[in-house]
């Protein structure tokens, strides 16, 4: 048995791991790389394996960097089942359709600019897949509840546990049986959430594994505590809205719902003035509705607050923007607005228009509250660039740019180490993935020193034998 790393190896995005088990081959995630030309090239060139050899896919959650290449896999002939959680099944329809739509729109815009003889920063590649491929992908999804072990092949059993990252996110437990009847247990953290966060429950501790795959997005740093993060948000908003707008690029799934929770709570407490909040992302609106349908997975604090605001579109001062005309009208607002819009890394979607209209105004603010991949516009803003190119024009960055890492949906270094410390004894081998090199190596060092793990930080395309078979794979 072997595992190969075809994505998220010394990089945060593009999750894709090929596991060769006894009698079958399967993928753990099939995600899109994000962040600039290198990511585009990676997505265009995937896959570096024989698609016809893949029997099934096990999907940790719906975020595009974990699921976004599933329709391409289907376009190239994959017809097997895709196993995931119940909430992820609901979210996939929204996210994959949006992904296809963005690719189609980008290609059409690039073709139009070329016909008009206009220059642009880089060529846009043809869409990786169509809406028809998305429809075929969704037909293959088989949803399973948390906490129930199920068989996907005579040699493979699976169980999903709550990862606390976004709605439906899962830690994956895999039991792999070899030709001699011996079993080893492989655990993938997927993306782990930060404990103590609102809405979702904390990540489920897992105590036994022979092999561990653990994410390391924030493997080299700690998040600010929740109180400090909220204080900073209150300060930014109260200083900005009398004269300008606050633009928050936010992932439509997870981050937007958490921000709404905090804004409602802060206004109910009187810590924020009654600012007008505009959620300008059809995908975020759909994801919010799906989130409310899965009320059972909320933590108790969120159930209490959101129970008083189940119909979010009716909450005073919160406005959900659906059509393009409504979105364009937001351009007329010069002050007093908080605009939450996708995409979270500022590389596509309606947020680009809001940035173009506000980023050149010193009275406005941009709040970055999630991880920004290398090469993305969001990363360049975080790094302090003075000019950005948007829609073919150069724009000076005059708005203040703030990074609120405390809102991250990813566990920080301490939370990752605490979760890994639950394994008793330590896994026989640990692979650190989903992190840029510095973050991955920092987490690997701490796993070795604090918990005695034998650790590898794999590179893209590396293949390893799954060693350390146990007698019963408990």
List, run by run, the mean pLDDT of 10-residue segments along the chain (474 residues): 96 96 97 86 90 98 96 97 95 91 81 68 76 97 97 98 93 95 96 85 95 97 89 95 93 76 86 88 74 61 50 63 87 93 78 92 92 81 90 90 85 97 95 96 98 96 77 35
The pLDDT score that the predictor gives to residue 469 is 43
The pLDDT score that the predictor gives to residue 315 is 58
The pLDDT score that the predictor gives to residue 295 is 56
The pLDDT score that the predictor gives to residue 312 is 45
The pLDDT score that the predictor gives to residue 391 is 81
Condensed to tens digits (0 to 9), the pLDDT of residues 123-171 reads 667 899 999 999 999 999 999 999 999 999 999 999 999 999 988 999 9
Domains and CATH numbers, the chain: 2-221+409-465 (3.60.15.10), 226-407 (3.40.50.10890)
The pLDDT score that the predictor gives to residue 221 is 93
Note whether 401 and 368 are within 8 A (CB).
Answer: yes
The pLDDT score that the predictor gives to residue 112 is 75
Condensed to tens digits (0 to 9), the pLDDT of residues 170-220 reads 999 999 999 999 999 999 999 999 998 777 789 999 999 999 999 999 999
The pLDDT score that the predictor gives to residue 300 is 57
């Amino acid at each position: 048995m072997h595992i190969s790393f075809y994505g998220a190896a010394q990089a945060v995005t593009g999750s894709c791991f090929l596991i060769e088990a006894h009698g079958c081959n399967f993928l753990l995630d099939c995600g899109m790389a994000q962040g600039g030309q290198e990511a585009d090239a990676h997505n265009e060139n995937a896959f570096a394996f024989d698609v016809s050899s893949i029997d099934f896919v096990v999907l940790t959650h719906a975020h595009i960097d974990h699921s976004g290449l599933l329709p391409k896999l289907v376009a190239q002939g994959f017809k097997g089942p895709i196993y995931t959680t119940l909430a992820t099944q609901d979210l996939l329809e929204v996210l994959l359709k949006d992904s296809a739509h963005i690719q189609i729109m980008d290609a059409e815009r690039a073709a139009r600019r070329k016909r008009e003889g206009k220059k642009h920063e880089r060529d846009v590649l043809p869409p990786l897949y169509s809406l028809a491929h998305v429809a075929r992908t969704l037909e293959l999804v088989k949803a399973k509840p948390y906490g129930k072990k199920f068989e996907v092949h005579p040699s493979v059993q699976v169980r999903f546990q709550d990862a606390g990252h976004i709605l439906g996110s899962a830690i994956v437990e895999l039991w792999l049986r070899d030709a001699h009847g011996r079993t080893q247990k492989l655990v993938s953290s997927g993306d782990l959430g930060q404990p103590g966060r609102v809405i979702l429950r904390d990540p489920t501790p897992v105590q036994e594994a022979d092999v561990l795959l653990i994410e390391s997005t924030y493997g080299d740093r700690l998040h600010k505590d929740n109180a400090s993060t909220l204080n900073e948000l209150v300060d930014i908003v109260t200083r900005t809205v009398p004269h300008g707008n606050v633009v928050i690029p936010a992932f439509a799934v997870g981050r937007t719902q958490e921000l709404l929770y905090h804004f409602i709570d802060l206004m109910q407490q009187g810590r924020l003035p009654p600012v007008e909040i505009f959620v300008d992302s059809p995908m975020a609106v759909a994801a919010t509705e799906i989130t409310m349908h899965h009320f059972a997975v909320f933590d108790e604090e969120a159930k209490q607050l959101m129970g008083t605001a189940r119909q979010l579109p009716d909450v005073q001062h919160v406005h959900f923007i659906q059509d393009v005309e409504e979105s364009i009208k937001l351009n007329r607002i010069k002050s007093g607005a908080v605009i939450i819009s996708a995409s979270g890394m500022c590389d596509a979607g309606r947020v680009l228009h809001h940035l173009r209209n506000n980023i050149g105004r010193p009275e406005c603010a941009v709040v970055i509250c999630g991880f920004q991949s290398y090469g993305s516009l969001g990363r360049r803003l975080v790094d302090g660039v003075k000019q950005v190119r948007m829609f073919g024009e150069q724009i000076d960055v005059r708005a203040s740019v703030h990074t609120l890492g405390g809102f991250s949906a990813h566990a920080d270094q301490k939370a990752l180490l605490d979760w890994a410390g639950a394994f008793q004894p330590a896994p026989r081998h640990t692979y650190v993935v989903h992190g840029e090199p510095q973050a991955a190596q920092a987490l690997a060092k701490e796993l070795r020193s604090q918990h005695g793990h034998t650790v590898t930080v794999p590179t893209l395309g590396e293949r390893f034998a799954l060693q350390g078979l146990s007698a019963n794979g408990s």
